[in-house]
Amino acid sequence: MSCELKLKERIGTINPIFTCQPAGAQYASIGIKDCIGIVHGGQGCVMFVRLLISQHLKESFEIASSSVHEDGAVFGALNRVEEAVDVLLMRYPHVKVIPIITTCSTEVIGDDVDGVVTKLEEELLQVKYPDREVHLIPIHTPSFVGSMVSGYDVAVRDFVKYFAKKDKPSFKINLITGWVNPGDVTELKRLLAEMQIEANVLFEIESFDSPLMPDKSAVSHGSTTIEDLISTADAQGTIALNRYEGGKAAKFLEKRWDVPAIIGPTPIGIRNTDTFLQNLKAMTGKPIPDSLVRDRGIAIDAITDLTHMFLADKKVAIYGNPDLVIGLAEFCLDLEMKPVLLLLGDENAEYENDPRIKALQDSVDFDMEIVANADLWDLEDRIKNKGLELDLILGHSKGRFIAIDNMIPMVRVGFPTYDRAGLFRYPVVGYKGATWLAEQMANALFTDMEYKKNKEWILNVW
The footprint of another protein on residues 372-411 (CB under 8 A) is 377, 381, 397-398, 401, 405
The Cα 375–Cα 371 span in angstroms is 9
- CB-wise, 43 or 304, nearer to another protein? 43
Interaction between residue 321 and another protein (CB under 8 A): no
C-alpha count within 13 angstroms, C-beta hemisphere, residue 73 = 10
Please pick, from the candidates 112, 119, 129, 145, the single residue that binds another protein as defined by CB under 8 A.
Answer: 145
Return the residues of window 246-305 that contact another protein according to CB under 8 A. none
CB of 220 to another protein, least distance (A): 8
* Per-residue mark of binding to another protein, 210-249 (x: CB under 8 A): x-xxxxx-xxx-----------------------------
Please pick, from the candidates 5, 21, 238, 310, the single residue that binds another protein as defined by CB under 8 A.
Answer: 21
Determine phi and psi for 341, rounding to 5 degrees: -145, 120
Rg from Cα positions in the chain: 23
- CB-wise, 76 or 260, nearer to another protein? 76
Please pick, from the candidates 147, 177, 200, 440, the single residue that binds another protein as defined by CB under 8 A.
Answer: 147
Return the residues of window 24-53 that contact another protein according to CB under 8 A. 36, 38, 41-45, 47-52
Beta bridge partners of 318: 342, 394
Interaction between residue 23 and another protein (CB under 8 A): yes
- Please identify, among the stretches 136-144, 329-337, 357-365, 420-428, the one whose residues bind another protein according to the rule CB under 8 A: 136-144
The Cα 31–Cα 267 span in angstroms is 21
Q: Could you tell me the CA-to-CA distances from 64 to 10, 89, 329, 354 in Å, in that order?
A: 36, 11, 37, 36
Determine phi and psi for 302, rounding to 5 degrees: -65, -45
CB of 393 to another protein, least distance (A): 15
Looking at residue 321, its amino acid is N
To the nearest 10°, the Cα dihedral for 193, 274, 27, 196? 10
N- to C-terminal Cα separation, the chain:
34
CB of 105 to another protein, least distance (A): 4
The Cα 297–Cα 291 span in angstroms is 10
Return the residues of window 64-93 that contact another protein according to CB under 8 A. 64-70, 72-73, 80-81, 83-88, 90-92
Could you tell me how many residues of this chain bind another protein (CB under 8 A)?
79
CB of 161 to another protein, least distance (A): 22
* Per-residue mark of binding to another protein, 87-126 (x: CB under 8 A): xx-xxx----------xxx--xx-----------------
Kindly write down the DSSP assignment for every residue of 190-245, as one continuous string. HHHHHTT--EEEET--GGGS----TTS-------B-HHHHHGGGGSS-EEES-SSS
CB of 107 to another protein, least distance (A): 8
Neighbours of 383 (CB within 10 A): 19
* Per-residue mark of binding to another protein, 153-192 (x: CB under 8 A): ----------------------------------------
- CB-wise, 132 or 294, nearer to another protein? 132
Q: What letters, b where the CB count within 10 A reaches 16 and e where it falls short, cover 311-330?
A: beebbbbbbbbbbbbbbbbb
- CB-wise, 212 or 293, nearer to another protein? 212
Please pick, from the candidates 3, 5, 32, 63, the single residue that binds another protein as defined by CB under 8 A.
Answer: 63
The answer to whether 429 and 185 are in contact (CB under 8 A) is no
Interaction between residue 7 and another protein (CB under 8 A): no
- Return the sign of the alpha-carbon dihedral for residues 321, 322, 327, 332: positive
- CB-wise, 58 or 271, nearer to another protein? 58
- CB-wise, 44 or 297, nearer to another protein? 44
- Please identify, among the stretches 9-17, 249-257, 284-292, 297-305, the one whose residues bind another protein according to the rule CB under 8 A: 9-17
- CB-wise, 12 or 130, nearer to another protein? 12
- CB-wise, 88 or 300, nearer to another protein? 88
- CB-wise, 142 or 327, nearer to another protein? 142
- CB-wise, 227 or 405, nearer to another protein? 405
The Cα 267–Cα 211 span in angstroms is 28
Instruction: Look at the chain and count its residues.
Output: 462
Q: Is the peptide bond before 144 cis (omega within 30 degrees of 0)?
A: no
Return the residues of window 193-212 that contact another protein according to CB under 8 A. 210, 212
Q: In what order do the strands lie in the sheet with 97-102?
A: 64-65, 38-40, 97-102, 135-139
Interaction between residue 129 and another protein (CB under 8 A): no
CB of 215 to another protein, least distance (A): 7
Interaction between residue 55 and another protein (CB under 8 A): yes
CB of 331 to another protein, least distance (A): 27
Q: What letters, b where the CB count within 10 A reaches 16 and e where it falls short, cover 436-452?
A: bbbebbbebbbebbeee
The answer to whether 12 and 315 are in contact (CB under 8 A) is no
